[in-house]
């Protein structure tokens, strides 16, 4: 019933509110995340409000309603299950699956999606370490601790990577920055805004604060 454009808006808004942990999502972020002009986002959001998928306050931002959240969560589930399928079953590289899933998440029927879920053995996390929402829209809380929040010298387990860009994921893979691996901060250099890290027994390397903040860890 919702068009694929609507599905994209609701998913993006939900993702922003989860990632930035905010209730009211500002218009600018929506426009940026969907790569449309601000005016387009405003007019679309007004339509979404008419359909009761969200509440919009001019110059404040947007909050999803229950039904809007449901659709958004459904899209996240689809996206992550499809990514898992592409890596596990077809053997695509984890750095190249995002765009694929972005398209397929709109095209697969509920029936096929649930078959896929069973075929994959009800996976709980996608290849980037992100939790896959259940059919009913429940999602495990992801770790709120990034590499930046860690003490120097403490061994941490990488939980997930909060960046979808192919180039970043290629870099991450190259450096073994992948879910499950053990990472340690060797030096914390505030002045240069970098941290020096080591993954498993691999050679050490540096990460900028922005990048380090995208590596979520636990333990």
Partner DNA sequence: TTATAGACTTTGATTAATCAAAATTAAAAT
Partner DNA sequence: ATTTTAATTTTGATTAATCAAAGTCTATAA
Residue 40 is a binding residue for DNA (CB under 7 A): yes
Residue 213 is a binding residue for a copy of itself (CB under 8 A): no
For residue 106, with 0-12 CB atoms within 10 Å meaning exposed, 13-18 middle and 19 or more buried, which class applies?
Answer: middle
**Partner interacting with residue 27 (select from a copy of itself, DNA, none; CB below 5-8 Å by kind):** DNA
Are 155 and 218 a contacting pair, CB within 8 Å? Answer: no
CB of 106 to a copy of itself, least distance (A): 7
Give the three-state DSSP class for 54.
strand
Task: Look up residue 59 and give its DSSP letter.
Answer: T
Residue 55 is a binding residue for DNA (CB under 7 A): no
Residue 106 is a binding residue for a copy of itself (CB under 8 A): yes
Contact residues for 119 (Cβ-Cβ < 8 A; gap 6+) = 85, 89
CB of 48 to DNA, least distance (A): 9
**Which backbone phi and psi does 78 adopt, to 5 degrees?**
-60, -50
| Residue numbers 3-32 binding DNA by CB under 7 A | 3-6, 26-29, 31
C-beta of 89 vs 107, nearer to DNA: 107
Residue 39 is a binding residue for DNA (CB under 7 A): yes
DSSP string, 62-126: EEE-HHHHHHHHHHHHHHHHHHHHHHHTT---TTSHHHHHHHHTTTS-HHHHHHHHHHTT--SB-
The residue among 70, 64, 54 whose CA lies nearest residue 137 is 70
**Partner interacting with residue 92 (select from DNA, a copy of itself, none; CB below 5-8 Å by kind):** a copy of itself
Residue 1 is a binding residue for a copy of itself (CB under 8 A): no
Residue 178 is a binding residue for DNA (CB under 7 A): no
Binding residue (CB under 7 A) for DNA from 10, 13, 16, 44: 44
CB of 56 to DNA, least distance (A): 7
**Which backbone phi and psi does 195 adopt, to 5 degrees?**
-120, 145
CB of 186 to DNA, least distance (A): 36
Using CB under 7 A, list all residues that contact DNA: 3-6, 26-29, 31, 34-47, 56, 58-59, 61
């Amino acid at each position: 019933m919702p068009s694929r454009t609507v599905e994209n808006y609701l998913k993006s808004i939900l993702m922003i509110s989860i990632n930035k942990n905010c209730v009211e999502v500002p218009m600018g972020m929506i426009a940026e995340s969907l790569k449309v002009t601000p005016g387009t986002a405003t007019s679309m959001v007004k339509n979404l409000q008419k359909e009761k998928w969200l509440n919009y306050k001019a110059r404040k931002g947007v909050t999803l309603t229950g039904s809007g959240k449901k659709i958004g969560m459904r899209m996240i589930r689809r996206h992550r299950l499809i990514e898992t399928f592409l890596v596990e079953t077809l053997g695509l590289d984890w750095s190249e699956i995002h765009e694929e899933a972005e398209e397929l998440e709109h095209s697969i029927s509920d029936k096929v999606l649930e078959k896929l879920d069973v075929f994959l053995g009800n996976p709980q996390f996608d290849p980037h370490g992100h939790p896959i929402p259940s059919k009913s829209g429940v999602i495990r809380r992801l770790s709120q601790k990034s590499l930046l929040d860690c003490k120097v010298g403490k061994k941490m387990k990488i939980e997930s990577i909060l960046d979808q860009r192919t180039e970043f994921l290629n870099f991450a893979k190259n450096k073994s920055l992948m879910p499950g691996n053990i990472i340690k901060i060797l030096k914390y250099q505030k002045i240069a805004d970098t941290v020096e890290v080591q993954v498993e027994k691999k050679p050490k390397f540096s990460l900028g604060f922005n990048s380090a903040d995208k590596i979520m860890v636990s333990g």
